[in-house]
Each structure stands twice: as C-alpha cells, then as structure tokens.
Amino acid sequence: MIAVAHAVDAVMIDIRNVVIRYGTNEILRPTTLQVTAGTIHGIVGPAGSGKTSLLRSINKLSVERDGATVTGSIAVDGIDVLPLRGEALAALRRRVGIVFATPQPLPRTIFENVAYAARVAGISDMTTLTGMVERALRAAQLWDEVADRQDLMATQLSGGQQQRLCIARALTLSPSVLLLDEPCSALDPVTTRRIEDTLVSLTPAVTVVLVTNNVKQAERVASRTSFFLMGELVETAPTARLFADAGDVRTRDYLSGRFG
Amino acid sequence: MMMMMRRARAWAGTASLSDELIERALLFAALSAVSTLALITLFILREGLPVLLDRGPLAFLGGVRWAPGRGHFGLLPMIAGTAVVTIGALVIGVPLGLAGAITLAELAPRRVRQLLKPTIELLAGIPSVVYGFIGMEFLVPLIRTGGPLGGPGYSALAASIILGIMVLPTIIGISIDALEAVPQGYRDGSRALGATHWQTITGVVLPAARSGIVAAVILGMGRAVGETMAVIMVAGNAVQFPTTILSPVRTLTANIALEMSYATGAHAQALFATGIVLFVISLSLNALAGVVRGTHRGAAG
Amino acid sequence: MTLPRLLPPRVAQRVASLALWIATGATVGALLFIIGFVVRRGASTLSWEFLFASPRHSGALGGILPTVVSTFYVSAAAVIVAAPLGVAAAVYLAEYTKESRLTRSIRSGTEALAGIPSIIFGLFGFAFFVTTLGMGWSILSGGLTLGLMILPTVIRTSEEALRAVPRAYRDVAQSLGASKWQSIRTVVLPAAAPGVMTGVVLGIGRAVSETAAVIFTAGVALKMPWSPFDSARTMSVHFYTLTMEGISDDMAYGTATVLVVTILVINITAYSLMNRLTRKYR
C-alpha cells in the first residue's frame, strides 16, 4: 500500500454536529466525532443506534441511496463531504471505500469485480489493471487463493472469500479510508479472524472505520471505540480504557453484556 | 494516488455533464412515451365523442338498429354479440384453463411443468388469423352439417369455441402464477392434518389463489372482448341480435374492422365512438383485475 | 370452500386427477393440433420458389416474397420505434424516479394500454397516420402504429426487469465511484438485459402476428415495397386475404406455415435468450 504521510494524531474524518433524519424520523442526534488517521476506529452499539446510517453518510451513500437527510459537517482529509455532488462525489468515493454486511459480489469474474472501480475511473490499460487487481487482492489477503483463477465467476467463491473479495474491490484505487459495516456478521470465526488481521495490516496507510455488533471484535482490533445507543453517541475513548473503565454507565452495561 | 486525483479532476467536467445530459434524454423519452399514449387516448375521444354526445350515449349504446346509411347508430346488437361470444369463450376457457393450471401447478412433476408451461405460452403467439382459419375450415362446417346443430355454421358458437381456445394461454398462465404464489406452508399444513392431495387443493390452495385466478379470468375476458380477426372469420357478422347460439353475430371489434375502410363523416365518428366503448370496457376489465389482485395481496399476509 | 362428500376422499382424488389430466391433454392437444394441421398441409407448398418468388394472379400462384419482406420492414419499423423509446422510458421510470403516485399511475396507465384491443390502434393509425398526417397506407404508417401498440408492453417488461435487479448492485457500483449513469450502464442494464430483451423479442412476435392494426395502416398492396411510403402487405394480411377471398388454399396454408414457424422461432429465441442470459448473470 502506498504510504501516505500524515502527522501523528492527524484527524482523518471530522464529524461535527451531524444529525440524520429519514423523513421526520430522527435517527441520529447531534454527533461529534473524530477519527485519527492511520488507525482502526471501532463503532459499537445495539441495533437501531444509528451506527450504519452514520457510516453510510461518510461517503454520502445514505443520502443518495437511502434518502436520508444529513445536516452538520463531515470532513474527510479536509474535504467537506456533504455538499459534494456529481463527479466530485464520485472522486471522493474513490478515496473512501466501503464494505457492506453481506458479501455482494457483482455478477462478473473475480478479476472484473476488483477491476471495476478502476475501469469506472477511466483506466482501461490491461497491464495497469492487472497490477492494481493483484495489489488489491494481496492487501485483502486473498491473492494466494485466487491468483490462478481470477476468471472464475465471483459467485462461486465461498462466503468468506466473497467478503474478502469485497474488501479487495474496495481497495483497488488505494483509498485513504475504508469503511466496514459489520463485515463479519455472516462469517465463521476463522474467516473473521483473517479479516481482522487484514484490517490491522492495512493500517497505518489506510484509516479504517469499523462498525461492529461484536464488541469483542472492537476490543481486538480498534485503537479507539465509540459507543452509540438509540441514535446518540454516548462516548468515545481509547479502546482499552473504554472496556476497562468506561465513563458512562450505559457503556459499561453494554460492553459487559448486561443488555444488547 | 495524487496523480489519479488530478486525472479524475481533469476528467470531472465532462463526466458530470454527460450524466446530466443522459438524465435529460431519458426524461425526454419517458415523457414522449407517456404523452404519445395519452395522445392516442385523446385522439380517439376527440373523434368519437361528438357523435356520442350528439345522439346521447344511451341512444347509442341502447339503440337496436345499426344502419349507417340511414343514420342509425345503435350498438346494442353488437354489444349483445360481444357479450354472447365472450361469455361463451369463458364457458369453454375457464374450466379447461383452470383444469390445465391446476394440473400443471399442483399435479405435474417439475419436468413436465417446465416443458408444458412454456409450450402453452408459445402457443399464445399464434396469430389470430390462423385460429380463425382453422375455425373456418373445421368448426364452421362441423356446426353446419356435422350433427344436430345446423344453422349457417358461422355463429356465436363457433366464435365462442375459437375464442375459448385463444384465451386458454392467458388464463392458464396467470392462474399458474397465482397457484404457485400460494405458500407451500399452506399445503404442508393441510397434508399434515390428514387431507388428501385433492382435498388440499380444493380446500386450501384454490381459496388462497382465488383472487389471482379471478384476475386471470378477467384478463382472459379482456382478450376475448378485444379479439377481432378470428371473430370476423367465424362469427358471421350479421347485424342482428343473437336468438340462439347458432345465430351469426357481429361483435364490437368486427364492427369497426368491417366498416372502417369505407366509413365517412358521422359513420366514421360512430366507429370511433365504438372504439371508445371498447376502450372503456378494456380499461375497466384491466382495472377490475388490478383491484381483485390488490385485495389478494392485502389478504395473503 | 368444502365440496360435499360424494365419494370417499381417495376415490375423489383419483377421479379428479384423471379429469384434470384429460382436460389438460385436450388443451395442449388442441393447441398442438392447430399448429400441426397448418404446418402439415402447408409444408408441401414450401419451397425456395415459394419463399423467394413473387406472387402471380393475386397470390394464387408463385410465391410470397413481397409479403415476407413487408413483414420484415413493418416489424423492424415497429421495433425501431418501440425498443429505444420504451427501454429509455423504463430506465427513467425505474432508476430516476422515486415511488410516488405519479409513477404508480404511469405504471397502471402503461399496463392498461397494453391490454387495449389492437383494432383500436388500427383505428388510430388509420385516422392519424394514414389520413391526418397524409402518410397514406404505407410501411411507415404500419410501423409507427405497431410501434405504439407494443410500446406499453416493452415499457412494462423492461421496468419489471430493471426493478428486479438487486438494490445492492447499485449501492456497490456507486460506492466504488461510478456515477449514476455509469452504474446503470455497467451494472444494472446488463443484469436486467435478459428480461428487457425478452420483452422486446416478444414485442417483435406480436408485431409479426398482428393483422387488424396492420391491414388498415400498411394496406394490402401486393408488391415489393421500395420505400417506407409504399403500401405493403404483410404475411398475416396476405394469409387473411387469401382465405377470405378464397384465392388459393395451398398458398394460404403455405403462408400460414411460414408465419407460424417465424413466430415460433421468435418466441423460442426469446425464451432461450432469457434462460441463457439469466444463467450468465445470476
């Protein structure tokens, strides 16, 4: 991965006073949150707490695809996301990759899945594409398994492989940010472990935001974690401190399994 | 990474411009399509309404004499013709169609169904003139001379039989969809309670698929009402009230087709008015089928 | 709905099954008989001369080449009108509009128009294209009329096919930096292609078999058409004329055979196209 130089503790994603509504329904109350560059930031909380909506707002997918109304400001590497449209928005999405909860390979070959983002960006030279695909597959730790069968239909891979393919696909254009929405919820523990290792290996070149319903996963890989409950950001802290001695009683209860 | 950003930005102007252009073009296409279809509706209304309003819809629809040369535009004989022929078609088409649908959806092994269902749908594509021709060659002589029936052969009966066969693919196809949409759980539950296959079909599956099947029949009816060529070839086309099933009749569609090429003035307008009547019948049947289907969607959950 | 117990359940079942199978057999048999009968008598008339020669004596002798060509031109004109317009309209409706009262009424409007009797389109085509616009009986009039006739069906099947494409595909494509149109062009349309193409092909089938709408717009001139403004007689119209005027039984059967075979080929193409593309893209 290309090493991008950032000052230590630079803020990569700056979320300020963000409110998310669907129609008149307020899903997320005013939320302020900073994600440090080059780290894995965990977002935990029970279902319906607004985690996914917030994540999908970082690349404005929630607005364009789900019909949400988002106010406030979200800045990625200094660029304010919410006013972006058209080509500028597409350019942003080449720098911010996203992986969804269920593996969603496109109905085409493994190679074409990973190459898609590059083709859409206008790259058509096969040598370039082949190189980019290989780099992405290696970064997702899938290269060894599919190197000699990249012409296979992506749907023929196993669930875990498909999800790693989706990670590779999101990494093709070397994004600076990778968003993941409960990526391991449909996967077995072994594959989950492999993906967690992959995420760790991506830093510090890539900033990772990981929404997860598995608090142990956050404890394993995230350096900072935010706890959301019913549309409200309860607190954010370095992971170790959050798990050992959270400030808010609700956080303590959730993390210890007393509810959720 | 930075190089890519620069290249993307240079490219940026053209990409979003063409995206907007495409959206406009697609909108234009959608508007054109919709407005053209609206245009057809309005045109027919414009041509046919004057005579309809002039003579009064009741006189037009209820008038028993159709003699354009003398200015008589009563549609009732043709309405009766359409009605008789359509009902006859349903008498033949519904039992056979339902039987076929039940057999294919419930009784037939999967292989047979996969073979027969597309076959029947394929047969829906046979031109109506071919059906009419077969009617002329076989059915009409058969009715005239082949037994106790008699009459000229060209009759409401012949038209009903031919139309009945023509609507079979429609009725079978939509009924099969309705039957296949019944959750397997209903059947399993019924069998688990000890019912035989047939009891399950009559007691559980058919009632559940009822609205879909009714919709199929209504749409089959719509097809029968709208059929022109086959009817012209076997129904006799006499402008008279059908006294028996063996009387020659003329349907609304045949009326338009037979007189269109030489009608002028008020006569032509009267044909458009007939078109309006067919339009309304067809739209109503379609709407009815939609309503019937809609209630089913509400109830099944 | 319970039927009175006339027979013990097991017996009732056997009787019912038998009755159903007989009825189904009769249905399929009747339909196959019609095709078989026509093709059997018509096959003997078929020959290279039949297909490629011109008719003589009003069609009593010779061949049916002009009608085959006319059928092709008229159907082609219809598809050129209906396919791009219909698919584009469907793309706009399915991808660029949100579900609303307007889209629902447009949808029920197109569905309703798909069921309008073809004679009405013939009536419209005659009054508008042939008379008002002065195009006369011509391939153009016929093609435009048929195009409008199959337009609602093309829009409906295309829209259904587009809406059937999983939502996630669009999410994925756009999240990878594709613009809306790019995502439609590279992911959604290819995935919907089987359904869309089937709709178009079936529309072609309908255009080829149509008689009522064509006879009053394209006319009955039994000659080789050289321009879109020429009147032209399609195969179905020719068959109808031969039959009603009793010109020649043999020619009629031959024409009908060509017609039926053409339509069967078109429909089978549609189905196998749909199957093959579905397998490739699912």
For residue A204, whether the previous peptide bond is cis, meaning omega lies within 30 degrees of 0, is yes
CA nearest to A19, candidates A230, A231, A228 = A231
Strands (E), A118-231: 177-181, 207-211, 224-229
For residue A67, the chain C residues in CB contact (below 8 A) are 98
The residue among A2, A6, A87 with the most chain B CBs within 10 A of its CB, best to mutate, is: A87
Please give the pLDDT value at position A179: 96
pLDDT tens digit string along B75-112?
889 999 999 999 999 999 999 999 889 888 888 888 88
CA angle B276, B280, B282 (to 5 degrees): 115
Closest A-chain CA to C172: A104
**B16 pLDDT tier (thresholds 50, 70, 90):** low
Q: What is the pLDDT of residue B296?
A: 47
Give the residue-averaged pLDDT of A187-197.
91
pLDDT at residue A223, as a whole number: 93
Q: Write down the mean pLDDT value for chain A.
A: 90
Contact C263, C205 (CB under 8 A): yes
Query: Within 13 Å and on the Cβ side, how many CA atoms surround C146?
Result: 35
| Confidence bin at B149 (pLDDT 50/70/90) | confident
Rounded to an integer, what distance in angstroms lies between the CA atom of residue C66 and that of residue C64? 6
Longest dimension (CA), chain A: 56
pLDDT for position C122: 92
Report the range of poorest mean pLDDT among A148-162, B198-212, C143-157: B198-212
C-interface mutation test, from B11, B18, B26, most C Cβ less than 10 A away: B26
Say whether C259 and B219 touch across the interface (CB within 8 A).
no
Residues of A in contact with B19 (CB under 8 A): 86
At B227, phi and psi to the nearest 5?
Answer: -75, 135
What is the pLDDT at residue A6?
59
CB-CB under 8 Å, A174 with B12: no
Contact assignment for C109 to B37 by CB distance below 8 Å: yes
Query: Which one of B40, B126, B198 has the shortest CB-CB distance to C263?
Result: B126
Backbone angles phi, psi at B283, to 5 degrees: -60, -40
- Does the structure show a pLDDT above 70 at B299? no
pLDDT tens-digit series, residues A41-67: 999 999 888 899 999 999 999 888 888
Cβ distance of C122 and B260 shorter than 8 Å = yes
Q: Quick one: CA torsion of B55, C132, B227, B257, rounded to 10 degrees?
A: 70
Q: Token pair for residue C242? A: 């031969």
Rounded distance, CA A194 to CA A167, Å? 12
Measured between alpha carbons, how far is residue C149 from residues B125, B216, C121, C236 in Å?
Answer: 16, 22, 6, 17
Our CA-based measurement puts residue C166 at a distance from the nearest CA of chain B, in whole angstroms, of 20
What the block records as the tokens of B44 is 């027919």
Beta carbons of B37 and C118 less than 8 Å apart: no
Instruction: Output the pLDDT for position B236.
Output: 87
Burial of residue B270, with CB atoms counted within 10 A of its CB: 0-12 exposed, 13-18 middle, 19 or more buried: buried
Q: Work out the pLDDT band at B30, boundaries 50, 70, 90.
A: confident
Instruction: Kindly report, residue by residue over B180-208, the tens digit of the pLDDT.
Output: 888 888 888 888 888 888 888 888 888 88
Burial A128-141 (b: 16+ CB within 10 A, else e): ebeebbbbbbebbb
Tell if the CB–CB gap between B19 and C181 is shorter than 8 Å.
yes
Other CB atoms within a 10 A radius of the CB of residue B110 amount to 7
Cβ separation of B19 and A91 shorter than 8 Å?
A: no
Dig out the tokens for B60 from the structure.
């037009």
Pick from A64, A104, A121: which is nearest to C172 by CB? A104
Q: Least CB-CB distance to B11: which of A4, A122, A173? A: A122
First to last CA, chain A: 37
Beta carbon pairs, A and B, within 8 Å: 34
What is each CA distance from B107 to B103, B115, B165, in whole angstroms? 5, 14, 22
Phi, psi (rounded to 5 degrees) for A18: -85, 130
pLDDT at position B15 is 52
Distance in angstroms (rounded) separating the CA atoms of residues B233 and B245: 16
CB pair distance less than 8 Å for C179 and A86: yes
pLDDT grade, residue C1 (50/70/90)?
very low
The answer, for C165 touching chain A at a CB cutoff of 8 Å, is no
Closest Cβ–Cβ partner in A86, A121, A173 for B19:
A86
Question: What does the pLDDT look like over C50-72, one tens digit per residue?
Answer: 777 777 777 777 778 888 889 99
Question: Please, what sign has the CA dihedral across residues A14, A18, A22, A25?
Answer: positive
Verify whether the Cβ–Cβ distance A87 to C179 is below 8 Å.
Answer: yes
The 3-state DSSP class for residue A235 equals strand
Contact A174 B1 (CB under 8 A): yes
Q: Which residue of B has its CA nearest to A171?
A: B1
CA atoms within 13 A on the CB side of B160: 24
At A247, the pLDDT band (50, 70, 90 cuts) reads confident
Q: pLDDT value at position C56?
A: 75
CA distances from A151 to A147, B215, C185 (A): 10, 47, 22
**What residue has token string 């597309």?**
B118
Question: E strand or H helix at A70, and its extent?
Answer: strand A69-76
Residue A171 has a pLDDT of 94
Which chains does B contact via 3+ CB–CB distances below 8 A?
A: A, C
Lowest mean pLDDT among B42-56, C162-176, C204-218, C266-280: C266-280
Angular region, C51: left φ>0, alpha ψ -120 to 50, beta rest: alpha
Any chain B CB within 8 A of the CB of A90?
A: yes
Task: Please check whether residue A186 touches C, CB under 8 A.
Answer: no
ipTM over 0.90: no
Stretch B228-247: mean pLDDT: 89
Closest CA to C194 of C152, C161, C170, C166: C161
The closest of B229, B259, B250, B207 to B163, measured between CA atoms, is: B229
Q: Which residue stretches of chain B are H helix?
A: 2-55, 57-62, 76-102, 110-123, 128-134, 140-145, 156-180, 184-192, 197-200, 206-226, 229-234, 252-259, 265-300
Task: Give the rounded distance of the alpha carbon of C71 from its chain centre.
Answer: 13
| CB–CB contact A121 B8 (8 Å) | yes
Distances C275 to B92, C279, C282 between C-alpha atoms, Å = 33, 6, 11
Instruction: Determine what percent of chain A is predicted with pLDDT higher than 70.
Output: 97
Q: Which residue has the higher pLDDT, A3 or B12?
A: A3
Evaluate whether A151 touches A130 at the Cβ level (below 8 Å): no
Query: Rg (Cα) of chain B, in Å, rounded?
Result: 25
Q: How confident is the model at residue C44 (pLDDT cuts 50, 70, 90)?
A: confident
Average pLDDT, chain B: 84
Q: Which residues of A touch C172 (CB under 8 A)?
A: 100, 104, 106, 169
Are A91 and C282 in contact (CB < 8 Å)? no
Name the 3-class secondary structure at C19.
helix
